């Protein structure tokens, strides 16, 4: 069975979910069932479809002034947007993915004596704020305010990176590295992922996968840079060097990222509550929230737990970088597999692997097994995160993608906010990472079930299909 999941997919595969605008200002959902498939002399399949229509998803937007169906799906401008998106994710999620190195250094040096769960709130707030502003700034993207907010947030993020060098107390780091850098990252990240949806349809998964590689590369480069430089030039100059790196990457993003579709007049406010009448969207949002409660537990604490697990002390500073090396492979592979086999068909098994490796992490010992599971965990998390924005783009009109993805990201941010502090509190209370690993693996599995339910609704009550 073949299927296409995007709202404006052509009707050449089945079963598919096609969302289109009707005269009564509702999105008309058509689920196509494949009756038979044969190949013509030119090698293209001929299909006979039976369509069932539902008028149950209210529209959020007026018809756009230009057709959204003519996606470039390539060309210089489109690939420059991908380049800018890759630089952007390097500068935002790449910094978030490097938090484990900062966590370990703060525990041992700058904030020695502070409980690990307390320190983890800095990284947790930073992580959650990458998603939280999406509700506001995704909406601003839709109505035409992108460039000015992007330039301001980029400038403030670079400035705050330099300011972290001057921090000496816990509340300094919380304010500057947690809130300020996290908030600026969120202002930049949400609209960028939506803009990718303006330029790509058939190659959307591949484009998202390439963009997501930036965060893995950032999560690889930043921990290694930090670990190597902090002993040679000190913490202050290490942060200043990182600031100059971000100045370069964010400057590139500002020069290359641009929207394709014109601003729209969208009905309603920041929330389009009618979107939650779509059970697939509702369960997908719940799945993201629950998965983020446990997704990053291993990444954040692997470096802190490694010495007690018999890992060679020379490898310990590079474990977070090793996670992100695996993540880079997972993100690129997921982008290619998502276009071929379906986004959610790749996300669900990836999530299962995340849960399995998170369960295993605190129970294994020695350098070799820890290094292997770190790489595998990184590949699985990378595959999940790379495709995260894809399904929400497809659950409604492209013109309203900023608000829709903003709603989803904002709710997911609450899971990211609470997840690692909960794991840290469990570790502090028990004195072991084993209960924390069990907790994190379990919530990821629960989220995977919600993800499977969302997929089931998309396929109209079937488990077979390409989505």
The domain of 50 spans 17-58
Q: What is the pLDDT of residues 442-462, one digit of tens each?
A: 999 999 999 999 999 988 888
Indicate if 369 and 222 belong to the same structural domain.
Answer: yes
Question: Is 63 contained in some domain?
Answer: no
Rounded average pLDDT over 160-166: 94
Domain count, the chain: 2
For the domain that residue 271 is a member of, what is the CATH number? Answer: 1.20.1250.20
Instruction: Give the confidence band of 6 by pLDDT, cuts at 50, 70, 90.
Output: very low
Give the Cβ contact number of residue 48 at 10 Å: 11
Indicate if 33 and 82 belong to the same structural domain.
Answer: no
Indicate if 129 and 226 belong to the same structural domain.
Answer: yes
Question: Is 8 contained in some domain?
Answer: no
- Rounded to the nearest integer, the mean pLDDT of the chain is 79
Q: What is the pLDDT of residues 129-144, one digit of tens each?
A: 887 776 777 667 666 6
Indicate if 48 and 96 belong to the same structural domain.
Answer: no
Indicate if 81 and 50 belong to the same structural domain.
Answer: no
Indicate if 38 and 99 belong to the same structural domain.
Answer: no
Rounded average pLDDT over 77-86: 89
The per-residue pLDDT for 270 is: 65
The per-residue pLDDT for 10 is: 36
Q: How far apart are CA 467 and CA 6, in angstroms?
A: 9
Indicate if 298 and 390 belong to the same structural domain.
Answer: yes
3-state secondary structure the chain: CCCCCCCCCCCCCCCCEEEEECCCCEEEEEEEEEEEEEECCCCCEEEEEEEEEEEEEECCECCCCCCCCCCCCCCHHHHHHHHHHHHHHHHCHHHHHCHHHHHHHHHHHHCCCCCHHHHHHHHHHHHHHHHCCHHHHHHHHHHCCCHHHHHHHHHHHHHHHHHHCCCCCHHHHHHHHHHHHHHHHHHHHHHHHHHHHHHCCCCHHHHHHHHHHHHHHHHHHHHHHHHHHHHHCHHHHHHHHHHHHHHHHHHHHHHHCCCCCCCCCECCCCCCHHHHHCHHHHHHHHHHHHHHCCCCHHHHHHHHHHHHHCCCCCCHHHHHHHHHHHHHHHHHHHHHHHHHHCHHHHHHHHHHHHHHHHHHHHHCCCHHHHHHHHHHHHHHHHHHHHCCHHHHHHCCCHHHHHHHHHHHHHHHHHHHHHHHHHHHHHHHHHCCCHHHHHHHHHHHHHHHHHHHHHHHHHCCCCCCCCC
The per-residue pLDDT for 20 is: 34
Question: Is 467 contained in some domain?
Answer: no
Indicate if 54 and 95 belong to the same structural domain.
Answer: no
The per-residue pLDDT for 465 is: 76
More confident: 128 or 345: 345
Q: What is the pLDDT of residues 306-364, one digit of tens each?
A: 988 888 888 888 888 888 889 888 888 887 888 788 889 999 999 999 999 999 999 99
Question: Is 393 contained in some domain?
Answer: yes
pTM of the complete model beyond 0.75? no
Instruction: Give the confidence band of 286 by pLDDT, cuts at 50, 70, 90.
Output: very high
Q: What is the pLDDT of residues 24-37, one digit of tens each?
A: 333 333 333 333 33
CA end-to-end span of the chain: 11
Indicate if 126 and 26 belong to the same structural domain.
Answer: no
């Amino acid at each position: 069975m073949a299927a296409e999941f995007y709202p404006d997919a052509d009707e050449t595969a089945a079963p598919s979910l096609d969302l289109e605008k009707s005269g009564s200002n509702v999105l008309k959902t058509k689920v196509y069932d494949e009756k038979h498939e044969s190949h013509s002399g030119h090698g293209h399949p001929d299909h006979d479809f039976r369509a069932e229509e539902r008028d149950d998803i209210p529209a959020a937007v007026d018809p756009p002034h230009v057709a959204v169906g003519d996606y470039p799906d390539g060309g210089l401008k489109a690939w420059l947007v991908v380049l800018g998106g890759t630089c952007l994710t390097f500068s935002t999620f790449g910094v978030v993915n490097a938090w484990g190195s900062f966590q370990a250094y703060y525990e041992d040096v700058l904030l020695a004596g502070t409980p690990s769960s307390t320190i983890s709130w800095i990284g947790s707030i930073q992580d959650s704020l990458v998603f939280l502003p999406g509700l506001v700034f995704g909406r601003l993207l839709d109505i035409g305010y992108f460039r000015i907010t992007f330039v301001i947030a980029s400038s403030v993020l670079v400035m705050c990176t330099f300011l972290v060098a001057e921090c000496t107390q816990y509340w300094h780091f919380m304010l500057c590295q947690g809130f300020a850098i996290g908030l600026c990252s969120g202002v930049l990240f949400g609209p960028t992922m939506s803009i990718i949806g303006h330029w790509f349809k058939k190659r959307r998964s591949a484009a998202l996968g390439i963009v997501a590689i930036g965060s893995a590369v950032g999560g690889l480069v930043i921990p290694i840079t930090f670990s190597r430089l902090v002993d040679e030039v000190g913490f202050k100059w290490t942060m200043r060097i990182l600031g100059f790196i971000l100045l370069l990457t964010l400057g590139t993003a500002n020069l290359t990222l641009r929207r394709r579709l014109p601003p729209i007049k969208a009905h309603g406010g920041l929330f389009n509550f009618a979107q939650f009448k779509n059970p697939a969207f509702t369960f997908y949002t719940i799945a993201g929230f629950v998965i983020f409660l446990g997704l990053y537990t291993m990444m954040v604490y692997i470096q802190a737990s490694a010495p007690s697990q018999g890992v060679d002390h020379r490898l310990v500073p590079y474990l977070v970088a090793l996670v992100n090396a695996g993540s880079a492979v997972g993100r690129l592979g997921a982008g290619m597999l998502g276009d071929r086999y379906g986004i959610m068909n790749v996300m669900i098994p990836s999530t299962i692997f995340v849960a399995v490796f998170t369960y295993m992490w605190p129970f294994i010992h020695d350098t070799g097994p820890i290094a292997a599971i770190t790489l595998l965990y990184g590949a699985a998390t990378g595959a999940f995160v790379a495709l995260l924005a894809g399904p929400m783009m497809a659950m409604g009109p492209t013109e309203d993608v900023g608000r829709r993805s903003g709603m989803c990201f904002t709710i997911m941010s609450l899971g990211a906010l609470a997840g690692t502090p909960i794991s840290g509190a469990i570790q502090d209370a028990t004195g072991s990472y084993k209960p924390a690993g069990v907790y994190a693996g379990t919530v990821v599995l629960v989220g995977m079930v919600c993800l499977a339910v969302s997929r089931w609704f998309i396929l109209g009550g079937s488990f077979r299909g390409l989505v």
